Structure 1
Amino acid sequence: MGKFFFGFFIFSTFVFLFADTPVKTNKNDIVGGIAITVNGDPITLYQIEQAQKDLKISKKKAIDMLIAQRIKAQEIKRLNINVDDSRIEEEIENIAKHNGMDRDNFVSALINQGINYGKYKDELKEQIQTQELLRNVLLSNVNTAGETEMREYYNKHKEEFSIPKEVETIRYVSKDPEALKKALGNPMMKISGVDRGEEKISLEALNPQVAQVFIKTDKNAFTPILNAGEGSYVSFFIKDKIGHIEVPFEQAKNFIAQKLVEGSQDRILDEYFEKIRVKAKINIIRE
């Protein structure tokens, strides 16, 4: 079996910052002594050297990365971000589906490729915790987006809020994403496990984020495959777009706030973690 998708992607800006360096913590690791403490949490000389060796980076970058890891872990604890086994299992099932497998076959594939399943679950838990932490940071900025700034965006991007009143579609839905992909590639062929039917959708009743999917998809084309919930996936073939309406500002506010945050996501995250680092008690014991 070839390579396949093992997990979900987290904000690219922080892939290095929060890289999951294997940090061993058995008793022998303390031989080199504690080099740095971050709010009381230790970083040893051994961990710094191991990070340099594993990631082939300079000592300064290794130290910065390990400090960032400690700060991230402390923020996860402070915000009480808990990820239980049921959440991890749910994510594993979703990953398996994206790879066209059931859970058991996916786990077997991991083991066959020499991946330790227990370690995989631990790393997946950390990924989910990191995703939740970064989502909390961004959502807090959505809530503070200024009314004036949002109004300016609305007035400058009127075309984003001028939408068809309705779209006529053919809905393709399946619990098997691979079968759905096959159906989209062969729309005239009857594919087992894929149901389809005509549906007229009122965009006025949808929130702007969802409506944008139909707006950006051309006539005689398929929307991206969407998660329909309860283990189902769906895509819509756009037959026609009918009428014309403008989404009022009040209805569009949440969408605009999210757009503004997305546009400055890197800056927001940089500033957030830099503020925490500045306030952190970082004690350099030895170098």
Structure 2
Amino acid sequence: MKKICFFLCFLLSLNHAQEINSIAIIVNKEPITSFEINEAINELKVPRNQAISMLINDRLEESEAKRMGIFINEFELENELNKMLAQSGGSMQSLQASLSSSGESLEDFKEDFKKQMQRKKLYEAVASGAKIDNSEDAMRSYFETHSNEFVLYASIDVNIFSSYEAKDLENLQKGGKKASNVKEHRENLNTSNADPRLLAFLSRLNINEFSPILQNSGELSIYQVKAKHQPQTLPFEQIKEEVANVYINEQRQNFIKDFFDKARAKATIQYLR
């Protein structure tokens, strides 16, 4: 009787393991498992449909990177990692200690870091195909139709979230909960303590809106705008360079989004579970 019970328990545990590791979706021949979906839901604190959408986008990026021959070798990875540590004044030992305290291994961190590098390289390759009219007339026209976005606030209150993990900051941007290894502090940025370009960039964000992920002394950071003070309206000639940066970046981002929207529309996606 004991043997029968043991055998039944074994079968149940085996079926459970198969269920967890089963392939749920196939995107351009790249599988997504049930385990990956559940892991994304639990780690990022997002609904199932959002977790699935994020994983599909991830597989589409992997598929496009393979098609375009984009990869990161070990030399590039180590070089970029050492550069990040040098900028932050940290060391491999301090990084390992930080990761250990949050329950993550160095190998997993390197894999995520490598993925971030590959994504950046892929986006740059995609954006290089964008045809942008960067004449002064185009810049001036953009400024005139978006003049309210170029009001400079001389004083901005922000929450700054920092981490070595891009995925934790991306989760915050999407409205998820703050991970334990994400550092947070509040600061008032103004003309005496902040780069004018950063103030100009943050001035365009709405209250409670997050910035994109930025490099900040070796770590990755996002800024959440909490309040803006002392607005100033500047003429086009004075901020021509800033207008050009915003205009070109927006055109590039729109091109990248359109590229992956088309890639998703053409992709072969099979839902198995």
- TM-score relative to the length of structure 1: 0.48
SS in 2 for 1:35: strand
Specify the alignment match of 1:285 in structure 2: 272
Residue 40 to residue 151, structure 1, CA distance change in 2 (3 Å):
same
CA distance in 1, matches of 2:72, 2:245: 25
2:39 aligned with 1:50: yes
User: 1:61, CA displacement in angstroms?
Assistant: 0.8
User: 1:131, CA displacement in angstroms?
Assistant: 0.9
Specify the alignment match of 2:82 in structure 1: 93
Specify the alignment match of 2:106 in structure 1: 117
Q: Which has the larger radius of gyration?
A: 1
Listed as ranges, the matches of 1:16-95 within 5 Å are 28=17, 31=20, 33-95=22-84
CA distance in 2, matches of 1:156, 1:33: 50
Specify the alignment match of 1:196 in structure 2: none
Residue 118 to residue 126, structure 1, CA distance change in 2 (3 Å):
same
Is the contact between residue 29 and residue 46 of structure 1 (CA under 8 Å) also seen in structure 2?
no
User: 1:53, CA displacement in angstroms?
Assistant: 2.4
Residue 284 to residue 136, structure 1, CA distance change in 2 (3 Å):
same
CA distance in 1, matches of 2:41, 2:267: 23
Is the contact between residue 38 and residue 71 of structure 1 (CA under 8 Å) also seen in structure 2?
yes
RMSD: 3.7
CA distance in 2, matches of 1:45, 1:156: 46
CA distance in 1, matches of 2:133, 2:243: 10
Residue 88 to residue 29, structure 1, CA distance change in 2 (3 Å):
farther
Specify the alignment match of 2:138 in structure 1: 152
Specify the alignment match of 1:138 in structure 2: 127
SS in 1 for 2:129: helix
Residue by residue over 1:231-259, the C-alpha shift from the partner in whole angstroms, topping out at 9 and shown as x without a partner, is: xxxxxxxxxxxxxxx9xxxxx9xx99765
Specify the alignment match of 1:271 in structure 2: 258
Aligned residues: 167
Percent identity over the alignment is 25
Structure 1: which 5+ runs fail to align? 1-26, 158-211, 217-226, 228-245, 247-251
Residue by residue over 1:131-190, the C-alpha shift from the partner in whole angstroms, topping out at 9 and shown as x without a partner, is: 11111222221xx1137x554326888xxxxxxxxxxxxxxxxxxxxxxxxxxxxxxxxx
SS in 1 for 2:261: helix
Is the contact between residue 110 and residue 117 of structure 1 (CA under 8 Å) also seen in structure 2?
no
CA distance in 2, matches of 1:123, 1:285: 27
- Determine which structure has greater relative contact order: mean sequence separation of CA pairs < 8 Å that are 6+ residues apart, divided by chain length: 2
SS in 2 for 1:275: helix
Is the contact between residue 138 and residue 261 of structure 1 (CA under 8 Å) also seen in structure 2?
no
Is the contact between residue 132 and residue 251 of structure 2 (CA under 8 Å) also seen in structure 1?
no
SS in 1 for 2:46: coil
Residue by residue over 1:62-83, the C-alpha shift from the partner in whole angstroms, topping out at 9 and shown as x without a partner, is: 1111111110111111111121
